[in-house]
Each structure stands twice: as structure tokens, then as C-alpha cells.
Amino acid sequence: MVFHCNHYNRFLQLVVEDCHYIAHEPILQDSATEVIFRQLRGIFARHPEWGREERAACAETLYRYCGFGDLAITPAVLSKEEWVDVREEHSHYGSALRLNYGIRRHPGEYFDLGFAVGSLSAIQERPLQGAMQTSPEPISKGGDATVFRITPRLEGDYPSQTPAIAQPILPEGAEQIPPRTQSLHVDEDAIIAAVGTLPLIGDENGLIPAFGVYLTRHYADYYNLVSFRFEEALAQALSTHKYLGEMLWYEYPSLFYYKDKFSHLQGKALAQTLLIEAGHICGFNTMGGIMRSDPWYQLIVPQLRCKEDWLAGIIACINALGWGIWRIAEIIPNERLVLRAWYPYESLGYLRINGSYSDHPIDYLMTGIGASLMNLLYTADITTKPDLTLDFYYRVNRSKDGFWGRQTCCVAQGDAYTEVVVERNCL
């Protein structure tokens, strides 16, 4: 489980569903179904004494605890109909997607639906399928509740054939984590312990408001499956649609901007740039929100002696989020940052899912986060508590002299650690 905010969650979903040349629903919904079914199948196997009601209570509590909302699973389990409606009046994804411009043309609670299908399939021990209802109007389209209709699967036994995922075989030296060498007067252990005391669990509505955003305790496997499946699907589409690359520049505003800024956006780099942009969004909003929050000023700012200490402080916070163990290898003020990570969840996920090394770097989140940290510190001057608006994001992260990250080492490629180098317009 890893922490992520509503901005990252909605943008990663938009990256997938805004490409009209791939089937986005299976990527978003099925990835959730597989992860949830796999987890609950394991939990229920350890509690053979549980009946369906106890199983449903477990799934419902898990959903709320993680900040996804208030999916009412128990009433659905107790129904004797061949179909059941699962309802939620609060949804992390539904509310997050309402932050986008305009009105959605279709519901967007794909993770929520995947959770409902996966959990009920595990509870009832039979393959099910589901669909989002359009009446009442779902939360993502401005309504007050989202309803999913769950029915028996007419063919196949998905997701019951979902295989277990083995632990990764790490590259040589991957377990040799070095001590911190930057800003040693910043007490990282104390910061991690302090973050661990914060009440970052679902409230009465099943949501986690914190640091000016809404957090989730989310599934690393879900993010990895979505990212890697999107990358694969887009690569396949690019190979069969001659002019798709040029068309995507106009469908994705971020690609259109980076097209003029860099010359590397061809083939797989299109998908990679979009996934890195999701990291930019996360870094700007989540890390920026932390560095504007009262706990930051109460617990961390008293330790900081210079502007570069803000990087050390926020890296300590990151090391409490489940993303891996990050280290600052080099920092040249207002010029260059070198980040390294041991056990980065994207690389670990790739090795677990594929069982072999990747032919290209895949730690997209870390690459985007690194660039946003430097932009926050030196372009936006987060020390002055600026308002983190969308317009300000565009001015900071897409300025012509802004910072950009590039990955130079990757655990998923066989390196002992992942490394990201952040410089101004380095590509």
C-alpha cells in the first residue's frame, strides 16, 4: 500500500481514458478487480470461519479505511437477487474527477466498480461482472451517489483465475541501502515517526482530507498494472495507426506543450511523458501541499537551516509514504538534483508482474516528482507559501526554464538502485 492524492489519481486515470485509440475501461476496471480479488482471497483463506457477512464487513471497512469512500457492500451480499446494486454516497475518485474542466460525458468511478466486482467475487466465491448505472446521476458527473449493478458473469471464470504475484528477484546489491549524506542535521527518523502518527485513515465518509488534498492508501499493484498496461496498449496502437503520434499531441494538452519544448516525443516516449506528467501533478500538489501545511511548519521547519534543507525534509516525508527509500545523492542549488531510490515501488512492481528486466526505465512517478520538487523550491519558491492553483502549476512546471527529470538507473533494468537526474531543460 502506498499513499497518493486525488490529483495524481485523477490525472493517471485521465491519461488512460483520454486516449481514444485504446480500450481504457479494461485497464482501469480490471486492474482494480484483480488486485482486490487477490488481496481478499488471501485474507479470507486465513479466516475460513467467516461467513459472507463477516467477509463483506471486512471489504467495506477496508474501502473506508483506505480513503476510497463508503461503498455499501454488506447490503449487496445479503441480497438474494441474481443481481445486486452497490451504492456509495462518497467516492474519492468520483469527487476527484469533478475537479476537471467541464462535465463528464460518462461515469468515471472505474476503480470503485473494480473494487465492487473483485470483493463480491471473492466474498461469494463465484465470477461476477458489473456496470455503472446512470440513474441516479453518479458522483463523477455531479450527482449525489454512484450505483453499480453487479451480476453473474455469463462466460469465463474471471477473476477467479487471477494468479498470485511472486515476490521480485532483486538485482545484485539492491538491498545495500546507504546512509543519508545530505542535511544530516535534519532528523529523518523523527520526521517519519511524526508522519506515522498523523490520522491518515478514512473519516466518517471514508475519505482522507490532509495537506490540502484528499489522500488514499492505495495499491501499488494497481498503479503499476494501469501504467504498464497503458504503455503497452498505446505502443500497440501506435504501431497500427500511422499518424496516431501526431494526433495525440492535440488530444493531450501536456504533450502539445512538451512537443514544442523537446524533440524526443516519438513512439513509447509519448506514453512515458504522460506518465511522468502524472508525477509532476503529484509532486506539485501533494508535496507542495505538505510543505504548506501546519504539521510541516510545526514539526519540520524548525530543523531547516537553508533552502536545500527543504528538499531533505520533504524526502524524509516521502520515505513515510511507501514509495521506497529515497536518498539525495547530489544537490547543486537552483541547478541540479540527483535522487536515488532503493525498493522503488514501480520497479518492484514491474519485476513482480513480468518476472524479467525491462528494456527501458519505468520509474515514472519518481522522475516526475523529482522535477516538481526542484520547480517547487526554485521556480515557485514554496518557502513563501504560494497558492497551488492550476494556473500556477502551468507557470511553474511548464516554464521554459523549468526543471525536467531523466532516469539514468533503474532497478527494473537490473541496477542496484533507481536514479533520477533533474536539471533545467535537460532534454
Print the SS3 string covering 357-413.
CCCCCCCHHHHHHHHHHHHHHHHCCHHHCCCCCHHHHHHHHCCCCCEEEEEEECHHH
Nearest in space to 356 (alpha carbons), one of 224, 220, 168, 174: 168
CA atoms within a 13 Å half-sphere pointing along the CA-CB vector of 33:
25
pLDDT band at 258 (very low <50, low <70, confident <90, very high): low
Average pLDDT over every residue of 406-421 = 97
Ordered by start, the domain boundaries in the chain are 2-152, 188-213+225-424
Asked whether the beta carbons of 400 and 261 are under 8 A apart, the reply is yes
Closest by CA position to 215, among listed 5, 1, 2: 5
Whether residue 233 has pLDDT greater than 80: yes
pTM here?
0.93
Superfamily assignment of 2-152 in CATH? Trafficking protein particle complex subunit 3 (3.30.1380.20)
Q: Scan for cell 457492500, then name that residue.
A: 73
Non-local (6+) Cβ contacts of 34 within 8 A are 118, 159, 162, 225
pLDDT at residue 324 above 90?
yes
Q: Helix/strand/coil (H, E, C) string of 33-47?
A: HHHHHHHHHHHHHCC
Q: Hey, what's the cell of 378?
A: 526554485
Q: Residue 245's pLDDT is what?
A: 67
Q: How far is CA 269 from CA 96, 253, 308, 361, 367, in A?
A: 27, 16, 31, 11, 13
User: Would you say residue 413 has pLDDT above 90?
Assistant: yes
Rg for the chain (alpha carbons), in Å?
Answer: 21
pLDDT, average across residues 306-331? 95
- What gap in Å lies between CA 279 and CA 180, rounded to an integer? 24
From the number of C-beta atoms within 10 Å of its C-beta (0-12, 13-18, 19+), residue 361 rates as buried
Residue 133: which pLDDT band, with cuts at 50, 70 and 90?
very high
- What pLDDT, on the 0 to 100 scale, is given for residue 265? 52
